[in-house]
A and B are shown apart, each in its own frame.
Chain A
Amino acid sequence: MNFLHVFSKEMTEQWRTYRLLIVAAVMVVFGLASPLLAKLTPDLLKSIPGLPPGLADAIPVPTITDAVIQYVKNMSQFGILLALLVSMGSVAQEKERGTAAMMLTHPVSRLNFLLSKFFALALTFLLSLGIAALGCWYYTLLLFKAMPWDSFLALNGLMLVVFLVYVAVSILCSTIVRSQGAAAGLAFGALVVIAGVGSLPRIGEYFPGQLFNWGTTLMLGNPAAAWPAFWVSIGVIVVALLGAWQILNRQEL
């Protein structure tokens, strides 16, 4: 029962400290900008003075595929960055300030303390991504044509899973260390490792980044399912949260 109280407090905090608003605003901007950029880029290129003759004609007419690719590219970069930035201080900041110690002398278990943070961030990203996706879908409809809503929903669901991997890993990093600075360093280190190893052939098929490719191919009509990467991502989320719980349980505050 106390989970709901702590979760509700976390959500209020997301709102009052403008984190929810910032995440939503950034995502919506990129959600709207993606189809717009896809549509306008060829025109922008054509308007460059001194373009060699014939090149302007060679620039292809933008399609819905360009809009999708642009959307996935923007979200994969800025969504992950946002996930890291808003999550990396979640536990370390409370330990540093002393609010964690203050709250844990009341009936709040350390598991609920962590889970409420994870689910509040998950809801923040779900809402933000949801609004951004709606915006992107509507702009794409205006500028190109309607996207298949079921594939687009799946694409966003897969992107959300990737963001949650980074949220969970950042919470783990934030639990391991005591200061926000150290948590930031550790979280960015984790990002580099996950992105670096994930770009290697064969091994990369098991890494969360593969879910972006799966989502893109779904949208393009030739789905290349990446179930191993999906289950590994879910596993990473669970293991990161369990690890954070075990570490927090052993820590003295």
Chain B
Amino acid sequence: MIQIENLTKQYGAVRAIDNLTMTVEPGSIFGFLGPNGAGKTTTLRILTGLAKPTSGSAQIAGVNLSADARNLTRHIGFLPEEPVFYTWMTPSEFLDYIGRLHGLSVSDRTARVKELLQLVNLTEAGKRRIGGFSRGMRQRLGLAAALVHRPEVLLLDEPVSALDPAGRKDVLELIEQLSGQCTILMSTHILADVERVCNMVGIITRGRLIVQSPREELLNRYVQPVFELDSDDLPSMQRWVELIKKETWIASVNINGTTTRIVVNDLTQARKDLLASAVSQRIVPRRYEEMRPSLEDVFLQLVEKESV
């Protein structure tokens, strides 16, 4: 549904996107992951026609970006990171206006506006001016606006990054509901969100795609076993960390507050020796756990490897 080939975007001396090649299959929810400044927003801006690539090409729903950028807008719905609206309009008026731009008939528009306001839980605010909306409400309205014309492809730029937990939950649930109705490319740096809603993952860093794979396959392929140990005895923990770092079966160790996170290369060896070595340093663990592998581990591992 989305095909990007050797896409490059140069801003002066900075290469924001570097020969990006990527495919998003029809019907998938594709998590476009990357640290801040990796090139996610630039890629989406190119895909929406708001920015022009320095070189390379892209196709969305069979429409070539450079050849028919105008026609492209009929196939895509776009939710920018901070959706903005004409504040003097009401949500109903705004959605109706978008419907008119997409050539929807009056009856279709009326039904669609009602349906979308219900979907994004803005029915009661339907007649209020957008100017007084909270960030979460604007985000939900932005999603509704992107869906008015039933696009084949939905491009979401950091759709939940600035929302509070309740707002995040609402928007993620909406995205989950859209599964199967259209193809979604969602950029984010929040890994938990990708784990929750995406079935495909692409990781980008420094403008380059370093991996693209189904989520589960990615976890199976890249994830390393992780252990976590909680203790209040920080000096002993630091001593212990220095000690175990030298072991060949340890990949990396991080202390965050009272939690030490240990990524290991050899699970059998770690199961046998890790806790014993902690106890030998007189550490009294409050919690010791072999963790479920997470996308965050894969992400950090791949991005760190790429940065070296």
Q: List residues of A whose CB falls within 8 A of some B CB.
A: 1-2, 5-6, 9, 13, 16-17, 97-99, 101-102, 104-109, 252-253
Within 8 A of A (CB), among B1-59: 45, 48-52
Query: Nearest residue in A to B93 (C-beta to C-beta)?
Result: A12
**Contacts A102-B80, A107-B73: A13 and B86 contacting too (C-beta < 8 A)?**
yes
Assess the A105–B48 pair: CB atoms within 8 A.
yes
B245 within 8 A of A: no
Residues in A whose Cβ lies below 8 Å from that of B76? 105
A10 → chain B closest CB, angstroms: 10
- Asked if B83 CB lies within 8 Å of chain A CBs, one says yes
Check B86 against A104 for contact (C-beta < 8 Å): no
- Residue from B74, B78, B85, B100 whose CB has the most chain A CB atoms within 10 Å: B100
Q: CB-defined interface of B60-77 with A at 8 Å, one 1/0 digit per residue?
A: 000000000010011010
Q: What are 20 sample pairs from A and B whose C-beta atoms fall under 8 A apart?
A: A2-B101, A5-B97, A5-B101, A9-B86, A13-B86, A13-B88, A98-B80, A98-B82, A99-B86, A101-B50, A102-B80, A102-B83, A102-B85, A104-B50, A105-B48, A105-B50, A107-B70, A107-B74, A107-B102, A253-B45
On chain B, the residues within 8 Å of A5 by CB distance are 97, 100-101
Contact partners of A9 in chain B: CB under 8 A: 86, 97
- Residue with the highest number of chain A CB atoms closer than 10 Å, among B50, B98, B102: B50
Instruction: With A104-B49, A105-B73, A253-B50 as known contacts, state yes or no: A16 contacts B101, CB within 8 Å.
Output: no
Residues of B within 8 A of A99 (CB): 84-86
Q: A102-B80, A106-B101 are in contact. Are A252 and B50 (CB under 8 A)?
A: yes
Contacts of B51 in A (CB 8 A): 252-253
Give the nearest-CB partner of A4 in chain B.
B100
Q: Are B101 and A252 in contact, with the CB atoms below 8 A?
A: no
Of B50, B84, B97, B101, the contact of A97 (CB 8 Å cutoff): B84
A-B pairs with lowest CB-CB distance, top 6: A98-B84, A252-B51, A105-B78, A16-B88, A5-B100, A105-B48
| A108, B101: Cβ atoms closer than 8 Å | yes
Question: A81 to chain B: closest CB distance in Å?
Answer: 24
Please name all residues of chain B whose beta carbon is closer than 8 Å to the beta carbon of A102 when the two chains form the complex: 80, 83-85, 145
With A5-B101, A107-B70, A107-B73 in contact, is A17–B88 under 8 Å at CB?
Answer: yes
* Nearest chain B residue, comparing its CB with the CB of A98: B84
Which B residues lie within 8 Å of A106 (CB)?
73, 98, 101-102
A sample of 5 more A-B contacts (CB under 8 A), given A2-B101, A107-B74, A253-B50, is A6-B101, A98-B82, A102-B85, A108-B73, A252-B52
- Nearest chain A CB to B158 CB, angstrom units: 14
With the chains together, A225 CA to B98 CA distance in Å? 47
Considering the complex, give the chain B residue whose CB is closest to the CB of A17: B88
Q: Which residues of A contact B101 (CB under 8 A)?
A: 2, 5-6, 106-108
Distance of A107 Cα from B63 Cα, bound (Å): 14
Min CB–CB distance A3 → chain B (angstroms): 11
Inter-chain contacts of A252 with B (CB < 8 A): 45, 50-52
Q: Which residues of B contact A109 (CB under 8 A)?
A: 70
* Nearest opposing residue in chain B for A18, CB measure: B88
Question: CA separation between A101 and B80, bound complex, in Å?
Answer: 9
CA distance A6 to B9 in the complex (A): 31
Q: How far is the CB of B60 from chain A (nearest CB, A)?
A: 12
Contacts of B49 in A (CB 8 A): 104-105
Tell me the minimal C-beta distance from B304 to chain A in angstroms: 32
